[in-house]
């Protein structure tokens, strides 16, 4: 049965089309916010924009809801803590409108610096005084960028086309990003402000607030722009500094309260250009946002980790590598949990040398989710795995083993139980595939099948034949099988690739074969 998705506000047709290929969609141009609590419980996912807030009260006791998506870059109107505790994934569309926001930044700058709004009004009123509307050029100006994320980087790229000198402040970005975008790093905000003839900010709401004392550090006659988040500038301070002639002009697309008060002092100043939160609103950006949001929602509903998942520490990997690690974590966690049902207090993970270090926080959560998903009654997934593990008294230690293999692999064991060691590896020789290397310290080397049936049985003659005969009686074909054992006559493990999933009746019949102790299906 297809999942049900609620879209509360207008989404681009490309995004809607993608959703409708995979789900049953109820889409609104603008759902009245007071109606959302009445219907939310009937959906697996909800996509909002700016008109709705996802609160703890709204999502509590909604067991069907699995995904909350914000069709935009921010998630200020979503209670992330509540979603995380409840195992609800939060998806957004970071960077989908970065080009649009960067271009709008320069649109505001040009409008202010070249007196475009004033000139337009002057001509419409019958005037033609060119001297009165002389402006300033961007060429050779020193641009200060606060925040060198996706939008800030696009701003830097455009600034070079205007032959501007580009400076930036961002304590969370590595030096290689500054170099790649031709931005001179300033170690403090104050040092950036002191050189910026033109200032723009591109941070979340948690970014620095530009107070009067900070703005006073700008060179006299500087121009400032806010196309990021309302409230990042002290607007009263901007007004005072413009009245004093310290700031020459201000372009603003966002406000602390939207829509803003039209009688605000800011709007009475001539060299102020304002727009109604249009920074990310182009036809192209809306299409990108819609598609990215839709793809993230569908992937999450299908149990795949998308790169735009917000409340999980998604590593900065290419999609194929992230997908490979995602499948490996999920499979290893489920297989390990089933094959080692006696609960220990501490898991030990040994990553292969080719597992990127920046992926390990996410790997920890993904593995814990796989281990716990069949051990607790509540919903458990990568989103709330750390919370659920803590409640179960379970921890996971990542072991930095100098002898670890130079592979993209993960090995998991209970601390103090080497016989529980289970390992999977992602191999990329020819066709990429997930390979099983070890179960419960028994060596294997096989491509992990889409449908796997695993048995634990006595290593005695005849058992394998009985298993094959029984599967044939149930009409289930074996694609291939692999056997492993620690020693002659000890416990053996068999992994079978099946063409179709086994029924409950088949598994019960297998358990009635003398010598078989356990049967698992993955």
Among the listed residues 137, 258, 284, 508, the single catalytic one is: 258
Q: How many CB atoms sit inside 10 A of residue 505's CB?
A: 9
First to last CA, the chain: 21
CA-to-CA dists, residue 196 to 238, 329, 340, 423, angstroms? 15, 47, 61, 54
> Could you confirm whether 277 is annotated as catalytic?
yes
For residue 88, the 8-state DSSP code is -
The strand pairing partners of 142, in sequence order, are 165
246: exposed, middle or buried (Cβ count in 10 Å: 0-12, 13-18, 19+): middle
Tokens of 351: 């990553």
> Could you confirm whether 258 is annotated as catalytic?
yes
Tokens of 52: 């709705």
Provide the 3-class DSSP secondary structure of residue 403: coil
Tokens of 447: 């491509």
For residue 414, the 8-state DSSP code is E
> Could you confirm whether 229 is annotated as catalytic?
yes
Are the C-beta atoms of 66 and 301 separated by less than 8 Å? Answer: yes
CA distance 141 to 36: 49
Tokens of 99: 């080009």
Among the listed residues 49, 153, 181, 229, the single catalytic one is: 229
Are the C-beta atoms of 428 and 434 separated by less than 8 Å? Answer: no
In whole angstroms, how large is the CA radius of gyration of the chain?
29
For residue 269, the 8-state DSSP code is S
CA-to-CA dists, residue 336 to 151, 333, 361, 439, angstroms? 42, 5, 19, 8
Tokens of 179: 């170099």
Q: Which residues contact 56 (CB under 8 A, 6 or more apart)?
A: 79, 81, 82
For the chain, the maximum distance between any two Cα atoms, rounded to a whole number of angstroms, is: 102
Among the listed residues 277, 456, 482, 486, the single catalytic one is: 277
Are the C-beta atoms of 198 and 223 separated by less than 8 Å? Answer: yes
Active site positions, annotated: 229, 258, 277
């Amino acid at each position: 049965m297809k999942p049900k998705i609620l879209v509360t506000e207008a989404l681009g047709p490309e995004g809607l089309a993608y959703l409708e290929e995979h789900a049953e969609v109820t889409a609104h141009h603008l759902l009245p916010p007071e109606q959302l609590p009445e219907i939310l419980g009937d959906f697996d996912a909800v996509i909002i924009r700016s008109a709705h807030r996802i609160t703890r009260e709204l999502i509590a006791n909604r067991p069907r809801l699995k995904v909350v998506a914000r069709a935009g870059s921010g998630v200020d109107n979503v209670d992330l803590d509540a979603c995380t505790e409840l195992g609800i994934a939060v998806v957004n569309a970071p960077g989908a409108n970065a080009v649009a926001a960067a271009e709008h930044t320069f649109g505001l700058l040009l409008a202010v610096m070249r007196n475009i709004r004033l000139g337009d009004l002057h001509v419409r009123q019958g005037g033609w005084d060119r001297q009165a509307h002389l402006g300033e050029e961007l060429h050779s100006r020193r641009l200060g960028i606060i925040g060198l994320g996706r939008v800030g980087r696009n701003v830097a790229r455009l600034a070079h086309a205007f032959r501007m000198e580009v400076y930036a402040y961002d304590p969370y970005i590595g030096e290689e990003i500054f170099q790649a975008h031709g931005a001179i790093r300033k170690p403090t905000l104050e040092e950036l402000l002191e050189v910026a003839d033109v200032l723009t900010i591109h941070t979340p709401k948690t970014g620095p607030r530009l107070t009067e004392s900070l703005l006073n550090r700008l060179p006299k006659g500087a121009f400032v722009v806010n196309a990021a988040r309302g409230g990042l500038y002290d607007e009263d301070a901007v007004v005072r500094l413009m009245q004093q002639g310290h700031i020459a002009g201000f372009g603003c697309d966002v406000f602390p309260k939207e829509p803003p008060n039209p009688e605000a002092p800011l709007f009475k100043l001539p060299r102020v250009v304002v727009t109604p939160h249009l920074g990310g609103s182009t036809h192209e950006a809306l299409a990108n946002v819609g598609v990215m949001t839709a793809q993230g929602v569908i992937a999450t509903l299908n149990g795949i980790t998308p790169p735009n998942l917000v409340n999980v520490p998604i590593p900065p990997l290419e999609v194929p590598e992230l997908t490979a690690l995602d499948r490996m974590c999920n499979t290893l966690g489920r297989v390990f949990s089933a094959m080692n049902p006696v609960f220990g207090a501490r898991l030990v993970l040994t990553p292969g040398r080719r597992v990127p270090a920046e992926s390990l926080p996410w790997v920890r959560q993904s593995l814990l989710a796989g281990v716990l998903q069949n051990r607790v009654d509540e919903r458990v997934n990568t989103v709330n795995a750390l919370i659920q593990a803590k409640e179960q008294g379970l921890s996971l230690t990542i072991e930095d083993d100098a002898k670890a293999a130079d592979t993209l692999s993960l090995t998991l064991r209970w601390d103090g139980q080497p016989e529980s060691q289970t390992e999977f590896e992602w191999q990329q020789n020819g066709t990429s595939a997930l390979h099983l290397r070890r179960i419960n310290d028994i060596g294997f080397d096989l491509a992990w099948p889409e449908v796997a049936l695993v048995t634990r049985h006595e290593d005695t003659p005849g058992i394998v034949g009985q298993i094959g005969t029984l599967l044939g009686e149930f009409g289930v074909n074996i694609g291939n099988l692999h056997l492993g054992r620690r020693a002659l006559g000890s416990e053996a493990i068999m992994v079978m690739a099946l063409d179709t999933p086994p029924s409950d009746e088949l598994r019960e019949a297998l358990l009635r074969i003398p010598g078989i102790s356990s049967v698992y299906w993955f």
